[in-house]
Structure 1
Amino acid sequence: MQSRTFSVLPRSVGLVFLAPAALFITTFLLFPLVWVIIISFTNTALTGPGAANPTFVGFTNYTRLFMPARWLRPGEFGNALRNTLLFVLGSAILGQVPLGLSIALAFHRRKGLLREAVFSVATIAWILPGVAVAFAWIAFLDRDFGTLNTVLGFLGIPRIDWYFAYPLYSIIFFNIWRGTAFSMLLFSAALGNIPPSFWETADVLGASAWQRFQHIVLPLIRPSIFTALILVTLWTFNVFTPYLITGGGPLFRSETVAMYTYRIAFKFFEFGRGAAIAVIMMTINFALATGYLLMQKRRKA
C-alpha cells in the first residue's frame, strides 16, 4: 500500500487567505464601531461650532440623555426608551413568538391547501420590502378610506383614527403581522425534528393537547424558543420601518429609540449626541443578548 503524505501550509499562507475577511471586518465593523464611540464624546455636528471645530465634551452627551428633569418628556430619550420597551414587549415577546408558535402547532402534522396558504401569506409578509408593506398598512389603517375602518363601518362601529388615538398599538400590530413568519418557520422546523414515536406514544396513552405541549413540545423546542426570543427581541428593538407609518408621532407617542436616534443625528445633525444614543443602543442589545444566553445556559445546566 502506498502511503500518502500531506504537507502543512505555512502560517503565512493561512494569514494571506484570512486577510480579505479580516480587512472586511475591520473596515465595515470595527472601524465604524470605534468611530461612533469616539465621536460620542465630542460635539460633532453638521452645522454650528461643532461642524468646523469639534471638541471633546466628555460624558456631556450621555448625561444630557439621562437628565431627571426632562427624562420622560415627549421628545426626550426616556420617552423613546419607554415606547421602545412597550413596543418590544407587545410586538416580540407577547406577539410574534407566541403567535408563531401557535400557528406552527396548529398546522403541525397537517397537510393541505389551508396550511400552504397560511404559510405562504405569512412568508410573503416577511420577505416583502419594508417600504411597500408600510405604505400598505398606511392605506389599511387610514381613517376615511382605510380597509379596516370600512369593515368596521359595515359592522356599525364608528371610524377610528388609529394614528392619532392608538399610534403605538398601530405599529405593534404592524410589526406582529410582518415578523411572525420568522418564529413560525423556526418553530415549524423545531417541531419537525421531534421523533414521530413521541407523538405515537402520546396518542396511545390518550394524552391531551396540553399534556403533549407540556411534556413533549416544550422540553424539546426550548432552545428554539430562546433563539426566537433573542433574535426577535433584538430585531424589534432596532427596527426602523414603523417610522414610515407614524413618523414617531403624534407628539412623539410612537417614537422609539431608533426613530429618536434618526431625529437627533439626521434631522438636527447632532452627530455627537446621535452617536451617544447609538452606543447606548448597542449596550442594551449586548445586555439583552447576554441575558438570554445566560438564561439558556442555566436551563441547560
Structure 2
Amino acid sequence: MSTDAAGLGRRRAVGFVLPALVLIGVFLVFPALWTVYLGLTDFRLTGLAAADPKMVGADNYTAALADERFHSSFWLTAQFVAGSAIAGQAGLGFAVAWALRDRPGPVKRAVEGVVLLAWILPSSVVAFLWLALLDRDQGTLNALLHTPGFAWLLDHPMPSIIAFNIWRGTAFSMMLYGAALASVPPSHLETARLAGASTFQQLRDVVFPHIRGHILTNLLLISLWTFNDFTTYQITAGGPEGRSEILPVYIYNVALSGGQLGFGAAVSFLVLLVNLVLALVYLRLLRERKGAVA
C-alpha cells in the first residue's frame, strides 16, 4: 500500500511539473537549439540560401568575431550597460531609496509614483516621449535650455540613450534597495551616528555590508536586462552611422534588415555566452558572500 501511495505521489508530482516543463521546452529550449542550428548555416531571408540553406560550420562565428562592426557594437553595449545600468540605474535607484527612507508617507509615495511611472509605461510610449523631448526643432529640452536646433540624437546618440534607459529603469533598483534598507537595523545606524560617522562612513561600514546580497542581485538583473535591451532601436535605430548600435540592435539590423539569419543567429549565441559569463560572475560573488556570512 505504501509503495502504491509513493508511486501515486510521484505521478502527481510529475503531473504538476509537466506543464511547466513543456512551456520551458517550447519557449526556451527549442528556440535556443534552433538558434544554434541557424548559426551553423548560411540561412537568409531571401535568395537561394532561404530555400536551401547549407551548413557552414563555425564560419559565421569566426566572421562575427572578426567583424569590426561587431567589435564596435560590443564596446557600445559595454558602455551602455556600465553607464545606464551599473552607474545610472543602480546608483540613482539607491540614492532615491536612501533619500526616501525616513520621509513622510505622502512625499515618499509621490516621488515613488513619479519614478514608477516611467517603468510601467509601455516602451513604445516612453520612446515617443523621449523623441519629443530631444527633437531638434520642437523638442522640450531645447525649449527649456534655449538651444533651438541642437540635435541631441545626432550629435550625442549614446549619452541620449543612456539617459533614456536610466530614466526608464531606475524604478526597479529603487524598489529593491528600498526593501533592502528596511532590513538594516536602525540601532546600528544610530550607533554609527553617535560615534561621529559621516554619511559615507555609515554607508560603507553599516549599510553596504547588510545589503551586499541585494546589491549583487540587482546588478545581475539590470545588467542582463540592459545588455539585451532593444528599446533603444525606437530612439536612434542604432544610428547615426552605427554610433549607438548596441548588440541587440546590431543583431536586428544584420538578421532581419540585412536578411542574414544564420549570421545573426551566430551573433545571438555569442551574446548568450556573454550573458552566461556575467551571470556566473555575479553568482560566484553571491556564493562568496553567503560563505563569508556563514
TM-score range for the pair, normalised by the shorter chain length: over 0.9
Residue in structure 1 matching 2:74, options 77, 81, 102: 81
Is the contact between residue 248 and residue 259 of structure 1 (CA under 8 Å) also seen in structure 2? Answer: yes
Cα deviation, 1:58-84, whole Å, max 9, x if unaligned, reads: 1111111122xxx43xxx211111111
Matched, 1:285 2:275: yes
Residue in structure 1 matching 2:209, options 198, 215, 219: 219
2:52 maps to amino acid: N
Q: Which has the larger helix fraction?
A: 2
Question: What is the aligned partner in structure 2 of residue 178 from structure 1?
Answer: 168
Residue 203 of structure 1, CA deviation = 4.2
Cα deviation, 1:185-237, whole Å, max 9, x if unaligned, reads: 10000001122322333344343222221221111011111011100100000
Question: What is the aligned partner in structure 2 of residue 3 from structure 1?
Answer: none
The alignment's TM-score, normalised by the length of structure 1, stands at: 0.91
The alignment's TM-score, normalised by the length of structure 2, stands at: 0.93
Q: What RMSD in Å do the two structures reach over aligned CA positions?
A: 1.7
Residue in structure 2 matching 1:97, options 90, 101, 115: 90
- Provide the C-alpha distance between the structure 2 equivalents of 1:209 and 1:17, rounded to a whole number of angstroms: 50
Moved more, 129-138 or 84-93: 84-93
Cα deviation, 1:238-258, whole Å, max 9, x if unaligned, reads: 000011010110001000100
Q: How does 1:98-177 map to 2 (within 5 A)?
A: 98-153=91-146, 157=147, 159-177=149-167
Question: What is the aligned partner in structure 1 of residue 177 from structure 2?
Answer: 187
Question: What is the aligned partner in structure 1 of residue 263 from structure 2?
Answer: 273
Q: How does 1:221-240 map to 2 (within 5 A)?
A: 221-240=211-230
Is the contact between residue 44 and residue 50 of structure 2 (CA under 8 Å) also seen in structure 1? Answer: yes
Task: Give the aligned length.
Answer: 287
Question: What is the aligned partner in structure 1 of residue 42 from structure 2?
Answer: 43
Unaligned runs of 5+ in 2: none
- Provide the C-alpha distance between the structure 1 equivalents of 2:208 and 2:237, rounded to a whole number of angstroms: 39
2:184 maps to amino acid: I
- Provide the C-alpha distance between the structure 2 equivalents of 1:269 and 1:174, rounded to a whole number of angstroms: 29
Runs of 4+ in structure 1 displaced over 6 angstroms? none
Residue 10 of structure 1, CA deviation = 4.2
Question: What is the aligned partner in structure 1 of residue 26 from structure 2?
Answer: 27
Percent identity of the aligned residues?
Answer: 46
- Provide the C-alpha distance between the structure 1 equivalents of 2:224 and 2:15, rounded to a whole number of angstroms: 35
